[in-house]
Amino acid sequence: MGRLQSRAVEWSRRAVQLSPKTGYKWNTLGVALYRSRKYPEAIEALQKSLQYHGENSCDRLFLAMSNWELGNRSEGMHHYNRATATSGDSTELRRFRIEADAKR
């Protein structure tokens, strides 16, 4: 894991500790863990994000990619299908969708 990813995980963990029921902080931690290739931990954080933040395509796309990296194809497709059924049209979300499409 690179220094940048390591710091992102560290800072995100701190943010979650300070406000453990804030979904977007769990999302940030989940994405940082995914980028650090800590897929099981990313899945846990992203599920917490869904719990506190509610249904959203960003969490679902990263859950899909994390599951695919672990070889969980059907679970990944479940999250991917939920993400794409409700996805918005933000530039960031489009980038994540392109990234997920490349991994399918």
The predicted-structure confidence for 10-48, as pLDDT tens digits, reads as follows 999 999 999 999 999 999 999 999 999 999 999 999 999
1, pLDDT greater than 80: no
The average confidence (pLDDT) of the chain is 94
Query: Whole-prediction pTM value?
Result: 0.93
Give the C-alpha distances (Å, rounded to integers) separating 58 from 2, 48, 80, 94.
23, 13, 10, 10
CA 69 from chain centre, in angstroms, equals: 12
According to DSSP, residue 71 is labeled: T
Q: Estimate to the nearest angstrom the gap between the alpha carbon of 36 and the chain centroid.
A: 12
Is the pLDDT at 99 greater than 90? The verdict is yes
**Count of other CB atoms within 10 angstroms of residue 23:** 18
State residue 13's pLDDT score: 97
CA atoms of 86 and 45, how far apart (whole Å): 21
